[in-house]
Structure 1
């Protein structure tokens, strides 16, 4: 057990969600007195409180004061640093960490190494590609963190290696992580309301590099490259021909010039572009990042290819739904911010764009300006559709735009019908909303499913 573990403390856990409940269970099992403070007091929270009470954890629903003898506060990643509970803890000199940091401190001796990645977009796809590659190499690998099981439980699960996806929130509260390798996929404006500025958001992402054995970064992303610049020997991944010390693309091959005996004079083939599914430039970048992390762990090249071939993409990520009257319909509902939507829009040449939702304060102008030459039309829905319409009027004034108002379940049928009217054979009707979905749907998955159902009704008409 790590030397940081001191039994008998009073530890406060902020939040009774998945990560908070997991932290409380592990701490209680180790002999600590655990008090969980949960702001909400609903049915789900009461059920969680009842389960924790059975193992001696005290849960105070509706919030509460920090216990006087608290020695450590483990916070939910969703709580902003300005939350009153966290402010009071810092004023009293109580250390505040997250569940991921707790997991690192409590990992057992001879613990499995961590391969960690973060970025504005592509994290889940990349961590799942990485897990598939590790499995192809015969490693018992588990995807954890912002996806999969809580890290604090997974560190005790007997895996050979952990593939860890971390958000900027989780990294903000992590101070001592020393992964075997760490990657930053990209950095674009997001969660500025939580971090306060783009610089602070990027700083949180860059924390993943501070103690990493191997630093992996997107050489095609200016902010990611800037974060990696202080680290000698950092490995870049690029969609261009790789230089020594990089992995990249040569004609139709993914090629390694970093994890080879002589990067100056030799290279090793990792896979073919056709092994990357779904094929899109940003997904090739994801595959290169996953390959670099796996190679840092000692995975042979043949396992990279096999892992990419075995990988099954998640739904709602540039998923082809159908071809109707010569028009392709593609569901990328997972594109919940402008950066993700931009990657999707760059994949197709002639697009009727379905967009809208909650922009969360993000600027849509740069995205529209870059995509304008590819747009044949746009159909907008959701809370911030007017903001996208304004950006289209400024930067793509010749593109026909239709707004579909309403919050009812039939909106997506009307959206798809209008998109079909704007599209011609050879076009792609692309759902890449650039916004969150909770204004109209229970999540991006429900939005994508509604789009697919509407397309299939159109197909059968």
Structure 2
């Protein structure tokens, strides 16, 4: 075999659970970040032999390595350690951010060594006697808010639950918790879903599909296909967005369990088999016996933390997943009434000289920025950052009539400026260059100059933050601090 080490992966791996003979296998965990550390610790806990590799070797990585080595792992950090596949590896667990063309993953595929994502690993580590069902959701935007709403509803129903996955604790940690959960609210990113092979959730939802992470997935079609994997094997309900035809198409293409239903959610009056809004009331015409002639009242728009259209859609999707699990109407109402939005999601910062300042730093792609901008008219829009391969023409064309002006910052600000020049040449645009002076102070000062009483200054960047800030949270906090200084507070 030319010196290549070949391994024969045990046949039980495909149907493994926590009680499988894990001590017989060696796993390579690719990455020592949050999910990689969790995967390695989980595998060590069930007796597997574990090798961990990561090109990074900073203080955080070495600290985790010390713990994993104490537990028995072979940890290899530093440049070059991921270039090859170690001998004797039975399967690989890859962290979500690792692209399929990473050398170790290419080598594994070439040798026929299975590659699992953290989600498939978590499914294989469940206790067969206490395997909590999953209510899973994905989408380009709104995932974190919706899964948090879902968890609030489930808790209001008296169920032990947690929001896990792309939010909160890793799924591996949740399935290995000594105290079993009743049900898990699982947020899944396109990266996590890319590697998924056997999800089979109790119910699943795709909130929306819009171009994002094209630098990772390559094309919008590949990105959408990965999102659609969430419906594979779905048992009770596949929840889709009536306003986004791509989400319904993913349901049509999915191979689901016998009897699984397609359930739509809409901002309008719901048809049979849908959830929607009737005269300010969120209504369920999907999970009631008399759905041909009536609907169940879930809550009112006034019960929600925000009446912004995309927030209403998030609430409907969360309610649909909860209702698919059999949660009563009273718990949906109680969960949504008590829910508060996380920071940096359409967060009111201050009113200064008759102008409202709103932080939606979480709007890290064009689709999210569109949803945010459609809530305000007129608006001074603050945008820019890392574009991640996006195009902004459709966004600008859709919102140009709402814009008082635009202030741009960040590495890819010229992409948005070019779209504005093509589709909204009459809108004033100010580009703020990077520099030693606090960039957000300059951005907010320019926005103040453009705004008039009654306007909203909206930070909805449409881009990732990592060129200038450590996170979208740090970007939002910088904005809020600048606004407070503007108002003398």
TM-score of the pair, normalised by structure 2: 0.92
Tell me the alpha carbon deviations over residues 189-209 of structure 1, each in whole angstroms, 9 at most, x when there is no partner: 111121121111100000010
Is residue 82 of structure 2 the alignment partner of residue 54 of structure 1? no
Residue equivalent to 1:165: 187
Residue equivalent to 1:147: 167
Structure-2 separation of matches of 1:143 and 1:222: 27
Is residue 18 of structure 2 the alignment partner of residue 14 of structure 1? no
Correspondence 1:216-231 to 2 at 5 A: 216-230=239-253
Displacement after TM superposition at 1:306 (Å)? 0.9
Structure-2 separation of matches of 1:404 and 1:10: 52
After superposition, the CA RMSD in angstroms is: 1.4
SS of aligned partner of 1:353: strand
Structure-2 separation of matches of 1:3 and 1:440: 44
Residue equivalent to 1:70: 89
Structure-1 separation of matches of 2:436 and 2:285: 53
SS of aligned partner of 1:425: coil
Is residue 221 of structure 2 the alignment partner of residue 206 of structure 1? no
Structure-2 separation of matches of 1:402 and 1:66: 50
Greater alpha carbon shift after TM alignment, 410-419 vs 425-434: 410-419
Displacement after TM superposition at 1:156 (Å)? 2.5
Displacement after TM superposition at 1:18 (Å)? 1.2
SS of aligned partner of 1:440: coil
Tell whether the 8 Å contact from 2:378 to 2:404 is kept in structure 1 after alignment. yes
Residue equivalent to 2:50: 34
Structure-2 separation of matches of 1:409 and 1:287: 41
Match of 2:473 among 417, 428, 445: 445
Displacement after TM superposition at 1:146 (Å)? 0.4
Is residue 137 of structure 2 the alignment partner of residue 117 of structure 1? yes
Residue equivalent to 1:290: 318
Residue equivalent to 1:88: 107
Displacement after TM superposition at 1:407 (Å)? 3.9
Greater alpha carbon shift after TM alignment, 227-236 vs 314-323: 227-236
Residue equivalent to 1:127: 147
Tell me the alpha carbon deviations over residues 104-154 of structure 1, each in whole angstroms, 9 at most, x when there is no partner: 111112311100000001000000000111111111110110011111110
Residue equivalent to 2:157: 137
TM-score of the pair, normalised by structure 1: 0.98
Tell whether the 8 Å contact from 2:42 to 2:176 is kept in structure 1 after alignment. no
Tell whether the 8 Å contact from 2:213 to 2:389 is kept in structure 1 after alignment. no
Tell whether the 8 Å contact from 1:277 to 1:313 is kept in structure 2 after alignment. yes
Tell me the alpha carbon deviations over residues 154-192 of structure 1, each in whole angstroms, 9 at most, x when there is no partner: 013221111000001111111111110000000001111
In structure 1, runs of 5+ residues without a counterpart are none
Tell whether the 8 Å contact from 1:382 to 1:407 is kept in structure 2 after alignment. no
Structure-2 separation of matches of 1:251 and 1:409: 50
Tell whether the 8 Å contact from 1:333 to 1:448 is kept in structure 2 after alignment. yes
Correspondence 1:300-449 to 2 at 5 A: 300-408=328-436, 410-449=438-477
Residue equivalent to 2:121: 102
Structure-1 separation of matches of 2:411 and 2:216: 21
In structure 2, runs of 5+ residues without a counterpart are 1-11, 255-259
Tell whether the 8 Å contact from 1:278 to 1:319 is kept in structure 2 after alignment. no
Tell whether the 8 Å contact from 2:384 to 2:410 is kept in structure 1 after alignment. yes
Tell me the alpha carbon deviations over residues 345-393 of structure 1, each in whole angstroms, 9 at most, x when there is no partner: 0001110111111111200111000000100111111111122111111
Q: Which runs of 4+ in 1 moved over 4 A?
A: none
Displacement after TM superposition at 1:409 (Å)? 5.2
Displacement after TM superposition at 1:427 (Å)? 0.6
Tell me the alpha carbon deviations over residues 236-295 of structure 1, each in whole angstroms, 9 at most, x when there is no partner: 111111000000111201000000102211210001011121221001000000000000
Structure-2 separation of matches of 1:393 and 1:364: 11
